[in-house]
Every structure is written in C-alpha cells, then in structure tokens.
C-alpha cells in the first residue's frame, strides 16, 4: 500500500485527537488524547526510590552500557495518554544517547493523577518550584546525577505537548538545574494557572495578547531573585496544529528571548528538511540562545525522521510524525553532539570548560574561575562574545570595566597548536557601584513602592526623611535614589 503523504498524515492526526470519545476531556485539561502505539520497554529500567515524590510520578531511565562519568543528562517528558516507554521507543532520544553518550530520564505520570495521563502543567501545586510534579522531576535528576556521575552543568529537559508545557515550567522553576530545554508542540511557562485557563492557552489562534516582557515575567517570577544564567531553549511547532495553536511557538519565542534580554527579530533564518524553517535568536555573546523551528503543514506531535542516515532518528507512531528529526537538531543545539551547540569555539577537540563562575567583582573588574580541561595549554576568555584575554591558569581578572554594568563571559580551552575548543556556557558578572535612578509618582504610590513612608498623615522620603506633603493621590513628587534605599526630592530635575 502506498504511504500517505505528510499533508494527509498531518490532517488525519487532529481528527483522531478531537474524536467524540475524548474531546470533552481534552478541553478540560489535556493534550494528545488518543492512545499511543504500544512499544517495548526492554531497554528501560524503572527506579522505584528517588525521593519523597510529591507529584506521584514514576521514574524510568536509560543509559548506554559503560557510560562514563561526567556525561550529560536529558529528561524527556511524554504527552497525554502516552508512557515513558512510548517516548523512549519513538522520540529518538535512546538512539542519540547511544550515539553521543549520555543518560536519559523519562518521568511518567498516570491516570490516577490526571484522567488522560497528562502532566499537570496548569496546576500551580504541581508545576512550581519545590512542589508536586516539578519537585518529583528534580528529585529524579538528583538520583540520576548520583547514579551516573552526570555533569551537572549539562542537564537538559524536553517534552511533547503537555510534557512540553511542563518542560517549559521546569526551565522556569529550575534554571539553576537545566542548562537548556526543548518544547515540542507545547506552551509557554505558566501560561495557565488553573484548568479554567487551558483552553485559552491551547486553542486561541491570536494568543493571549501578552507582551514579551509579560511572558518573561512569568519565568522570572517562577524563581524570584535568581540571577544566574538562563537556559538555552529550542521551540518546535507545526503550522497545522489544531490542538496547540501555532501562535504558542511565537509566544514561547517572546518569553524566552525576553528572559535572555534579546529582541524578537531573528539573527538568522534557515530552511531545513521536512518543510522546517529555523529562526535563530543570538544572545549577547553572539551565540544562539533561542531557536524556533516552524514545520509547515505538521499537525500536533513530535517531528521524527526514521532512518539510519546522518541526522535521522526516531520512529513513527501516534503523534510521532515523519518530517524531521527534532531530537537530533535539539541535541546539536545543546551541544550533545560534541560541536558545542553553537556556543562558539574553533575546531579543536577540547571540550568546553565546566564550572565557570564569577568569583568576585569591583567597580571596574570581574574575576572568573573554572575547572581545568585535560590537555589544555591555555584558555581564551570572551566578554560579550569578544576575546579579551588568555591565561594558562584556571582563573582570570578582566579590568577596565564600567561600574554597575553587566557583562557576559565564556571560556574556551586552547590546545598546544593554539586552536581553541568549544566555548563554555556564559555567565554574567555585574560590577559594583550605584547608578542613581529617579521615580515620579504620587505620594501614595511612592509609599506603596517602598520609596517613602508615612507619619501623622504626611509622607517622608526614605533615607533623607524629607517631607513630601500629604499622604494622598493628589500630591506628586520625583524621588532620586542616590544610594541603595536613600531617596531625596528631585522635582527640579533628575
């Protein structure tokens, strides 16, 4: 029998998904609402003890025989009605684990948690840092790291549909754990905070109307006070997806570019196999921070490309659609193929240095430290993507900087021939010093925002205690913060 065309397969998927038997449940909370193809779990091992497991999840894992320590770890979350076995069999991650040498953890939920076995991406008791399913996945990561000696600087999370939505939440909840992520036919982090909001997130073709900053705030508010590096994020979305509206791909792009402090105009656009358009958004260091893959004509599912050729992986099944091997491209984006994943560097085989940290700053200097790389003759140091120095040690102090300013640093090991290897992930250093800021608002708002206080019906500037007049909405002043927490009236100019 002749094989159906890709367009026919894309049209057929959504009709199955929204069948009368399951459509109502899908609208309530789910994604992917038909049974997945059966798959062998022969290569999977279940781990029955990995922590308190508040999300009531099951942990499955896969690792190539003889896996060395210090290798990456990938967490892969299935879609609704699927299992860890389904995702292991069809997604291509097991094949890539064998090829590149890393371990894979497959969290699994069940119908006892949610009627369609969906991860609960819309429930704040399950998808926030330190709670429910999110904490269970973090505990699985800790277990796998202890078991395999995984490189804690190279832990990644990916997921399909509801699993993709939960992967986005995990990236927001634990940016200190995950170096990168991939969201396949999924949703922005914290798009919905209750089951009542799921429909608007999934099906609204025009989106929720939030600005990039508002989307970014949802990530920043998931771990208040976090000031470390943010994950690199790949986004995969079909243009004919009737379960997760394609606008979600754009909203994910807006969310994660805003988090990284970059614009929403692509740095580069490429045409890839399977009708795929790749839009790349570079970070401040000039390397890809966010990638959006839009697949023309693809419905709801994970893109795979069965075969043994270069870049091929996965197998077809329910919601595993034959277009392009998304897992292979995602692995390359993360650098799991040994290329550095677009993080710069030359042609040396030396790996990226790990453990890069900011060990100190002054008004005009930033001091860095990192872990030695075997075989390195020296190290090149890059500030905002430009080489600023070299050193034979595992530390460097960059000088001549501007006070109260942030800089992104990365490091590459250099071999005996002078060829640099893959650059490390970037870290941000902020020099000390204070830049005065001004705030104009009515007295009531100045108090609410913590810049002033009240006494006897009057308002006083914090720090200077200057009298600002009556505490009400009708008196407006400009306050200048001359040092942290010290404000003076600056109505005549700031």
- Say whether 161 is catalytic: yes
Q: DSSP letter string over 41-99?
A: -TT-EEE--SS--TT--EEEEE--TTPPTT--EEEEE--TT--HHHHHHHSSHHHHHHH
CA angle, 351 then 356 then 360, to 5°: 155
Question: Measured between alpha carbons, how far is 15 from 123 in angstroms, rounded to an integer?
Answer: 27
Instruction: Give the distance between the most distant pair of CA atoms in the chain.
Output: 87
Question: Measured between alpha carbons, how far is 43 from 479 in angstroms, rounded to an integer?
Answer: 64
Residues 6+ apart with CB under 8 A from 133: 54, 55, 57, 107, 109, 113, 119, 120, 126, 127, 166
List the catalytic residue out of 58, 85, 117, 161.
Answer: 161
- φ, ψ of residue 296 to 5 degrees: the values are -65, 125
- φ, ψ of residue 78 to 5 degrees: the values are -75, 170
370 neighbors 354 (Cβ within 8 angstroms): yes
Question: Measured between alpha carbons, how far is 244 from 159 in angstroms, rounded to an integer?
Answer: 14
Question: Measured between alpha carbons, how far is 216 from 260 in angstroms, rounded to an integer?
Answer: 9
List the alpha helices (DSSP H) in 132-246: 132-148, 162-173, 198-203, 212-220
Q: How far is CA 459 from CA 146, 480, 494, in A?
A: 56, 15, 20
Q: Which of 274, 341, 269 is nearest to 312 (CA)?
A: 274
Element (H, E) at 468: strand 467-470
Give the position of tokens 């100045």: 446
122 neighbors 40 (Cβ within 8 angstroms): no
Residues 6+ apart with CB under 8 A from 336: 72, 74, 96, 100, 102, 154, 156
278 neighbors 269 (Cβ within 8 angstroms): yes
Q: DSSP letter string over 257-269?
A: HHHTT--SS-SEE
Catalytically active residues are: 161
């Amino acid at each position: 029998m002749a094989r159906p065309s890709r367009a026919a397969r894309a049209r057929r998927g959504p009709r199955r998904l929204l069948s009368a038997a399951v459509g109502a449940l899908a609208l309530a909370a789910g994604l992917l609402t038909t049974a997945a193809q059966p798959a062998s779990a022969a290569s999977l091992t279940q781990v029955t003890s990995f922590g308190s497991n508040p999300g009531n999840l099951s942990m499955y894992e896969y690792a190539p025989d003889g896996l060395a320590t210090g290798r990456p770890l990938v967490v892969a979350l299935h879609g609704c009605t699927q299992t860890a076995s389904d995702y292991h069999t069809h997604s291509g991650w097991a094949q890539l684990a064998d090829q590149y040498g890393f371990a894979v953890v497959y969290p699994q939920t069940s119908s006892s948690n949610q009627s369609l076995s969906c991860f609960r991406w819309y429930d704040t008791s399950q998808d926030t840092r330190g709670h429910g399913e999110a904490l269970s996945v973090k505990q699985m990561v800790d277990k796998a790291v202890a078991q395999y000696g995984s490189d804690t600087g190279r832990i990644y999370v990916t997921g399909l549909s509801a699993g993709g939505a939960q992967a986005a939440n995990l990236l927001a909840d634990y940016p200190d754990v995950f170096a990168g992520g991939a969201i396949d036919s999924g949703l922005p982090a914290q798009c919905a905070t209750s089951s009542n909001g799921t429909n608007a997130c999934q099906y609204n073709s025009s989106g929720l109307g939030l600005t990039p900053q508002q989307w970014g705030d949802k990530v920043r508010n998931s771990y208040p006070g976090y000031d470390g590096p943010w994950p690199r994020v790949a986004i995969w979305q079909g243009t004919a997806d009737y379960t997760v509206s394609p606008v979600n791909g754009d909203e994910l792009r807006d969310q994660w570019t805003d988090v990284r402090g970059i614009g929403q105009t692509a740095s580069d656009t490429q045409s890839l196999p399977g009708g795929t358009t790749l839009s790349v958004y570079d970070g401040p260091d000039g390397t890809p921070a966010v990638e959006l893959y839009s697949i023309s004509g693809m419905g709801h599912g994970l893109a795979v490309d069965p075969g043994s050729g270069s870049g091929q992986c996965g197998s077809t099944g329910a919601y595993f659609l034959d277009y392009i091997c998304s897992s292979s491209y995602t692995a390359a984006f993360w650098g799991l193929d040994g290329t550095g994943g677009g993080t710069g560097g030359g042609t040396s085989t030396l790996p990226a240095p790990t453990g890069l940290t900011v060990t100190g700053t002054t008004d005009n200097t930033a001091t860095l430290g990192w872990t030695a790389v075997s075989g390195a003759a020296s190290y090149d140091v890059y500030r905002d993507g430009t080489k600023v120095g070299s050193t034979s040690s595992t530390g460097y102090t960059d000088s001549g900087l501007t006070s109260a300013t942030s800089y992104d640093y990365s490091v590459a090991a250099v071999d005996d021939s002078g060829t640099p290897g893959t650059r490390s992930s970037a870290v941000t250093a902020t020099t000390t010093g204070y830049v005065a800021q001004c705030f104009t608002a009515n007295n009531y708002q100045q108090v609410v925002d913590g810049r002033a206080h009240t006494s006897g019906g009057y308002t006083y500037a914090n720090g200077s205690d200057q009298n600002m007049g009556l505490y009400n909405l009708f008196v407006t002043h400009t306050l200048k913060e001359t040092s942290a927490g010290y404000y003076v009236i600056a109505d005549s100019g700031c």
